[in-house]
Structure 1
Amino acid sequence: MNNGSSKNEIALNLIVEKPADIATPEGMVWIPGGTFIQGAVANDDMAMAHEKPAHKVVVDGFFMDETEVTNAEFQKFVDETGYVTVAEREIDWEEMKKQLPPGTSKPHDSILQPGSLTFKKTKSSVPNLYDYSQWWAWTIGASWKHPEGPESSIDRKENYPVVHIAFEDAQAYAKWAGKRLPTETEWEYAARAGQPDAIFTWGKDMENLSEMANSWQGEFPTANTKEDGFENKAPVKSYPSNPYGLYDMAGNVWEFTRDWYNVNYYENQKNDGVVKNPEGASQAFNPNASQTSEKVIKGGSFLCSASYCASYRISARMANSTDSSQEHLGFRTIATPQMLKRNLK
């Protein structure tokens, strides 16, 4: 990666350094613009097919939240706007069935109530880790206010990342804050933080995982040794930052990006040459989820383990339906210099 002012960057009119007339917003850090290789690095044996091929991209500098959006921050948004998240809204069956296979029967009204997906340990080993229904449960009453179910709360958890957030909710918060969600490229560029050969935000050493990120230690999904200090979510800033001063870019909770998930996007991207500030695929495509429109999520969560998905790696990427929320999914926002200048007018 190159954060200097090379001839190529000048030709691209690249924003590298923070503009002198713009102050860094509270709780954000400046990410200097530059060029990097997006996608799996050559020495990453855990990389999946949709992380390849790696391709060169150019990114303008921007400001990014140093942490995931917290419960306290989201609470302020809700208090000021009265916003109701997707997980808290009454369910519209006519709207829901459009996303289900034709002929799907309507569930009983006792089931068709607001809620979200919560994690549950299994009582024994799971031979098929592709069947995630074994550890996820639809929980009526689960929401950002009740992250483990209706009897739970966020009391004394103001500094934990907000979860049970659908894409629409994240977008609404970002608009209210005068910011936006990052593209997948911006997110990955910020996570890599000038380390071209790194697999993780802290480098290449897997042995440092428990010291650097909140992930699953032990046999997933039945036993967590809590070697990293937490079994579930952790307060933000519980682990060291990456070289750019960003916390929890690996583990804790997954984070939404604004990009559509398209399984062919990286393969198609290689034919476009070096692209500046790519916006991702023009439409979603996932042959395993043809009924849904999905966004790219990044960073992994407290549920990621080496045996399951190892998604605490920089290049790891997954898909999430725009209307789906879970106990391990949150977000952070970014702001460009242009956005901040408009906000000041």
Structure 2
Amino acid sequence: MDTNSKACCSASRHTAGQEQPPIPTLEVAQTDVPNVPKLQDMVLIQGGTFLMGTDDQEGFPSDGEGPVREVTVKAFYIDPCTVTNAEFKQFVDQTGYMTEAESFGWSFVFHLFVSEETAKQVKTTVQQTPWWWVVEGADWRHPEGPDSHVEDRMDHPVTQVSWHDAMAYCRWSGKRLPTEAEWEFAARGGLVKKRYPWGDELKPGGKHMCNIWQGKFPDKNNKSDGYAGTAPVKAFEPNGYGLYNVSGNVWEWCSDWFSPKFHIKGKRDNPSGPPKGEARAMRGGSYLCHRSYCNRYRVAARSKNTPDSSTGNIGFRCAADVSF
């Protein structure tokens, strides 16, 4: 594969050419007491040492996927699924939280999902990735624009949430975002150096194992896996640790700042990424990933976005310490 990594299937606010309003206040009110996480609903990962990253020819060295290295993580809890629309609604209903997309007044929507009526109002697309349209009124409740809704998708992953939004939810829920090392350890499900959470073959026996793009990106999706956009969070089989949809469906925010090189000389014992940066790490790929363009639904694949960015294919899952 060409190791000159193309721009990935998400868009950043700084690429949109929009005049930016003041950065909104994103903290959950200090009077809100964080919930105690229901650890019985989470997956306990015992921790240990594993081989992180890949030197696979399918990978993108420029993303910092390699080299393969021994990394140790301590025990932690992680949610079996990404946060759903129903769960995020409960958070918003209890706190009155306003997401960044709502504060900015717009977010990124994949062009095939924009209605004809909303398309008439679209004035801006992302130059390098023109399938991303700047849509006024797009937010987590209205992921494809003001004339869309999530009422029939409450068991789907919440989208149009920024890293800051994810962090606010984590604070409210008493949880946190996983580190990249924790995410990959859990996503591998106990398998060693496999390309996907279930093995090395994308469709074992012809069976779809995840929600990604089929067809010719970005104009024709055959939907042979059953979905064009997001799928319910338990739509496909879980991995060996009981985690669902760690490949495809939506990108998942991690706590780390993104760097393609820091890990090469960084610590290998519970690594948490570089101390600063401009973008946060994302893992897992999304329903827009296709081998011809964004082959990042592999378990070692990485991407990034600025922490204020939100799109229709970015969500998150939560983790928690074992000390509760």
TM-score normalised by structure 2 residue count: 0.81
Of the three residues 225, 229, 235, the one matched with 2:226 is 229
Find the aligned partners of 1:32 and 1:25 in 2 and give their Cα distance.
Answer: 14
What residue number does 1:149 align with?
145
Alignment map for 1:28-43 (pairs within 5 Å): 28-40=42-54, 42=55
What residue number does 1:242 align with?
239
What residue number does 2:186 align with?
190
Which residue type is aligned with residue 218 of structure 1?
G
Q: Secondary structure at the match of 1:170?
A: helix
Contact 1:145–1:154, Cα closer than 8 Å, also in 2:
yes
Which residue type is aligned with residue 158 of structure 2?
V
Find the aligned partners of 1:121 and 1:184 in 2 and give their Cα distance.
Answer: 31
Larger Cα Rg: Structure 1 or Structure 2? 1
Alignment map for 1:181-220 (pairs within 5 Å): 181-208=177-204, 211-220=208-217
Which residue type is aligned with residue 151 of structure 1?
D
Which residue type is aligned with residue 282 of structure 1?
P
Matched, 1:283 2:276: yes
What residue number does 1:48 align with?
60
What residue number does 2:252 align with?
255
Contact 1:24–1:30, Cα closer than 8 Å, also in 2:
no
Which residue type is aligned with residue 78 of structure 1?
V
Shift of 1:233: 0.6
Find the aligned partners of 2:189 and 2:297 in 1 and give their Cα distance.
Answer: 15
What residue number does 1:11 align with?
none
Give the total of aligned pairs: 274
Find the aligned partners of 1:280 and 1:333 in 2 and give their Cα distance.
Answer: 17
Contact 2:203–2:209, Cα closer than 8 Å, also in 1:
no
Find the aligned partners of 1:265 and 1:253 in 2 and give their Cα distance.
Answer: 25
Contact 1:210–1:227, Cα closer than 8 Å, also in 2:
no
Q: Secondary structure at the match of 2:129?
A: helix
What residue number does 2:313 align with?
328
What residue number does 2:117 align with?
none
Which residue type is aligned with residue 281 of structure 1?
P
Find the aligned partners of 1:203 and 1:211 in 2 and give their Cα distance.
Answer: 13
Structure 1 unmatched runs, 5+:
1-22, 92-113, 123-129, 285-292, 341-345
Contact 1:37–1:57, Cα closer than 8 Å, also in 2:
yes
What residue number does 2:10 align with?
none
Find the aligned partners of 2:209 and 2:216 in 1 and give their Cα distance.
Answer: 19
Shift of 1:263: 2.1
Shift of 1:32: 1.6
Of the three residues 171, 175, 180, the one matched with 2:171 is 175
Find the aligned partners of 1:121 and 1:313 in 2 and give their Cα distance.
Answer: 24
RMSD between aligned residues? 1.9
Alignment map for 1:12-161 (pairs within 5 Å): 25-40=39-54, 42=55, 44-49=56-61, 50-89=64-103, 91=104, 114-121=105-112, 132-161=128-157
Find the aligned partners of 2:38 and 2:314 in 1 and give their Cα distance.
Answer: 27
Contact 2:202–2:209, Cα closer than 8 Å, also in 1:
no
Would the alpha carbon gap of residues 150 and 247 (structure 1) be closer, same or farther in structure 2, given more than 3 Å must change? same
What residue number does 2:295 align with?
310
Structure 2 unmatched runs, 5+:
1-36, 114-125
Which residue type is aligned with residue 118 of structure 1?
V
Which residue type is aligned with residue 83 of structure 1?
Y
Shift of 1:214: 0.2
Would the alpha carbon gap of residues 323 and 213 (structure 1) be closer, same or farther in structure 2, given more than 3 Å must change? same
Find the aligned partners of 1:248 and 1:173 in 2 and give their Cα distance.
Answer: 20
Q: Which runs of 4+ in 1 moved over 4 A?
A: none
Matched, 1:296 2:310: no
Shift of 1:133: 2.5
Find the aligned partners of 1:228 and 1:143 in 2 and give their Cα distance.
Answer: 26
Which residue type is aligned with residue 178 of structure 1?
G
Q: Deviations over 1:187-212 (max 9, x none)?
A: 01100121112110011112338611
Mean CA deviation greater in 28-37 or 239-248: 28-37
Find the aligned partners of 1:56 and 1:65 in 2 and give their Cα distance.
Answer: 24
Find the aligned partners of 1:79 and 1:39 in 2 and give their Cα distance.
Answer: 39
Shift of 1:336: 1.1
Contact 2:84–2:155, Cα closer than 8 Å, also in 1:
yes
Find the aligned partners of 1:336 and 1:325 in 2 and give their Cα distance.
Answer: 27
